[in-house]
Structure 1
């Protein structure tokens, strides 16, 4: 596998590991509360309000890992499939992943909404640039 393909794959793996890390943290917050009887299953069967704030933040962040990152995974897969992955894709992919880590760190700790939103928007812009670049590269630059 060429070096730039490996670098892109590692960005994908880093995003996947972030999702798993949030899932594990969420489980560590939620499962003991249900197992101890602190929270009844019927109180969480439909909504999350019975959980304490930390558990709800982790749950919301976990859900968020299946929003913009889905477009990231698709863009990355298209880049790998098309071949010729370049520094532009790799740089934008890693920038997106770093911003997702920042977004998650804010979301599950201080949850300062303005900072979290800034990280989210920057990640969205980086992802839009990745898609714009891929569209240009795959439709106009490759024959």
Structure 2
């Protein structure tokens, strides 16, 4: 049986793929003319930059999530705390995506990002402390 840590990693991959598909859809009026307003404008013009920015965010801090996950997978042991932190990271990423795309509330987005930041930082700290925990 595979390490359950692979599932949060796959969930983030699915989120990123969804964002690529969503970005393609909102760019369709500008790129292919599909769904243009009668005046020729893109009805999604205001939300497109937020989706694009969120997609870019999926390749920043999550890099450290993937690195710690790969290191944990190499240990071939399943740590319930690490798994919980990984799912917390995913929940935070989903919430961050919703806030960034659906609102312009930068303060809330920063607060939500803190969930992702702390979850990954805790994963790293727990990994570094693992020799003292007998893992």
Give the TM-score taking structure 1 as reference length: 0.81
Query: Which runs of 5 or more residues in structure 2 are unaligned?
Result: 37-43
Corresponding residue for 1:14?
11
Cα distance in 1 between the residues matched to 2:104 and 2:93 = 14
| Residue 99 (str. 1) matches residue 92 (str. 2) | yes
Give the TM-score taking structure 2 as reference length: 0.86
Aligned pairs, number: 127
Report matched runs for 1:1-143 at 5 Å. 1=1, 5-6=3-4, 8-36=5-33, 52-137=45-130, 139-141=131-133
Cα distance in 2 between the residues matched to 1:142 and 1:33 = 56
Query: Which runs of 5 or more residues in structure 1 are unaligned?
Result: 39-50
Between structures 1 and 2, the one with greater helix share: 1
Moved over 6 A (4+): none
What secondary structure, in the 3-state scheme, does the structure 2 residue paired with 1:67 have?
A: coil
What secondary structure, in the 3-state scheme, does the structure 2 residue paired with 1:53 have?
A: coil
Deviation at 1:142, TM superposition (A): 5.4
